[in-house]
């Protein structure tokens, strides 16, 4: 076994067992959010064992064993750092620099040649999470963590499928008689997102998620720099859909800032396809350009109808995420926390109210809400409907 394989074996076995044992201890307490001083023996063991592997890996210096291995190793270092943060062994609010110096050095070394952030990202636990004999990598063996990862991955697959189908319309153009086939298939993919999110909403236990899963997604420092937590949406597909449909625009200062911030949290091939979508003329603008000449053509009208259905379904996924998943699994349980814990709830760092209104802006862009304070597609949709009568 190579050193990185040894380390990965530890991550898949002892590390997961220790995290699970700690979660059970915290969860059985009355104040579940107070984890300081609980299970210190296990925390010290985890810190020391992880440190031992990381020091050897850093000495070896041979992290470039191909993209797959380097990306996996970065994830494994990140899972360790995120756990140390979760168990309050580290906390960016009380430190200027991460006490995990060797782990920081290793993470930065690998990330600099991969072109991604030096922390664990969603892809490590979803799209790039290799199963060994059917068992995926995770922080714990809690059923609610598996459930979250499983349904997150299903939604990601379906969003990616929708994005890929929409991108196939680009070389054809929106007046092509076959464009509706691709719009309709993309609509089906978005229906799969809706179904998967619905099931997640129904099956996930709110307290288990809030107290035992979500805390692993907090921000932490790598050396001096604090990095926001991973979130389920750190893949390009959803933004490609936003941009291609014309619901959001890469030259909108609010939205482009979000893209820039998110870019390095994505795996490199997602970064490439997102950049590609950023330089395309959206379907909305293409339809508006073509409508005066084509408005009476039956195939064109069918394309408009199918396009508007895709937009509507994308809006439904945004409502579902904000009004159900975020509200029920984060906003509601946060209300029970003390002010100090409340301030550290979000994965991205800003206070919850700020995060909620930022997510609301995104939702309203995606549903093309009638808002005058932000740019949405609302008026352009009305214009398209008026021009075509669809």
Q: Does 156 bind ligand HEM (CB under 6 A)?
A: yes
Interface with ligand HEM (CB under 6 A), residue from 83, 104, 127, 152: 152
Q: Does 98 bind ligand HEM (CB under 6 A)?
A: no
Report the distance separating Cα 134 and Cα 226, nearest Å: 34
Question: Are 54 and 80 within 8 A, CB to CB?
Answer: yes
Report the distance separating Cα 264 and Cα 107, nearest Å: 14
Q: Does 325 bind ligand HEM (CB under 6 A)?
A: yes
Number of chain residues interacting with ligand HEM (CB under 6 A) = 25
Smaller CB separation from ligand HEM, 63 or 155 = 155
Q: Does 38 bind ligand HEM (CB under 6 A)?
A: no
Q: Does 344 bind ligand HEM (CB under 6 A)?
A: no
Report the distance separating Cα 275 and Cα 200, nearest Å: 30
Report the distance separating Cα 255 and Cα 252, nearest Å: 5
Q: Does 233 bind ligand HEM (CB under 6 A)?
A: yes
Burial bucket for residue 85 (CB in 10 Å: 0-12, 13-18, 19+): buried
Q: What are residue 220's phi and psi, to 5 degrees?
A: -150, 165
Alpha helices in the chain (DSSP H): 3-10, 16-27, 40-60, 67-86, 101-114, 122-125, 143-167, 179-203, 206-208, 237-245, 253-263, 268-278, 283-294, 298-319, 332-334, 339-342, 352-366, 378-388
Smallest distance from ligand HEM to CB 122, Å: 9
Q: Does 282 bind ligand HEM (CB under 6 A)?
A: no
Interface with ligand HEM (CB under 6 A), residue from 81, 116, 355, 377: 355
Q: Does 111 bind ligand HEM (CB under 6 A)?
A: no
- From the list 12-20, 101-109, 246-254, 341-349, the region that binds ligand HEM by CB under 6 A is 341-349
Interface with ligand HEM (CB under 6 A), residue from 236, 346, 376, 388: 346
Interface with ligand HEM (CB under 6 A), residue from 114, 189, 362, 384: 362
Q: Does 348 bind ligand HEM (CB under 6 A)?
A: yes
Q: Which residues bind ligand HEM (CB under 6 A)?
A: 151-152, 155-156, 159, 197, 200, 204, 209, 228, 231-233, 238, 321, 325-326, 329-330, 346-348, 355, 359, 362
């Amino acid at each position: 076994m190579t050193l990185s394989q040894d380390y990965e074996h530890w991550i898949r076995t002892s590390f997961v067992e220790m995290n699970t044992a700690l979660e059970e201890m915290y969860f059985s307490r009355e104040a579940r959010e107070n984890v300081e001083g609980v299970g210190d023996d296990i925390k010290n063991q985890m810190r020391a064992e992880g440190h031992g592997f990381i020091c050897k890996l850093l000495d070896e210096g041979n992290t470039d064993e191909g993209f797959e291995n380097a990306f996996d190793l970065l994830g494994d270092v990140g899972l360790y750092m995120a756990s140390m943060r979760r168990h309050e062994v580290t906390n960016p609010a009380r430190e200027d620099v991460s006490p995990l110096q060797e782990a920081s050095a290793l993470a930065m070394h690998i990330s600099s040649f991969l072109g991604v952030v030096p922390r664990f990202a969603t892809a490590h636990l979803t799209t790039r999470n290799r199963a060994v004999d059917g068992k995926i990598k995770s922080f714990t063996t809690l059923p609610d963590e598996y459930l979250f990862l499983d349904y997150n991955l299903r939604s990601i697959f379906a969003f990616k499928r929708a994005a890929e189908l929409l991108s196939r319309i680009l070389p054809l153009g929106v007046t092509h008689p076959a464009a509706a086939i691709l719009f309709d298939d993309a609509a089906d993919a978005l229906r799969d997102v809706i179904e998967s999110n619905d099931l997640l909403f129904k099956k996930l236990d709110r307290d288990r998620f809030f107290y035992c899963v979500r805390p692993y997604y907090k921000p932490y420092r790598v050396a001096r720099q604090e990095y926001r937590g991973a979130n389920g949406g750190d893949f390009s597909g959803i933004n490609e859909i936003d941009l291609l449909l014309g619901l959001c625009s890469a030259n909108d200062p609010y939205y482009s800032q979000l893209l820039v911030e998110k870019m390095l949290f994505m795996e490199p091939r997602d970064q490439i396809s997102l950049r590609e979508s950023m330089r395309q003329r959206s379907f909305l603008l293409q339809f508006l350009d073509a409508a005066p000449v084509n408005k009476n053509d039956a195939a064109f009208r069918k394309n408009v109808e199918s396009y508007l259905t895709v937009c509507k379904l994308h809006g439904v996924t945004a409502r579902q995420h904000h009004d159900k998943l975020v509200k029920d699994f984060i906003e509601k349980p946060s209300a029970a926390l003390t002010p100090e814990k409340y301030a550290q709830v979000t994965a991205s760092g800003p206070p919850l109210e700020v995060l909620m209104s930022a997510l609301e802006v995104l939702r309203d862009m995606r549903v093309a809400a009638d808002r005058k304070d932000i740019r949405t597609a609302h008026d352009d949709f009305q214009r398209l409907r008026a021009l075509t009568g669809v």
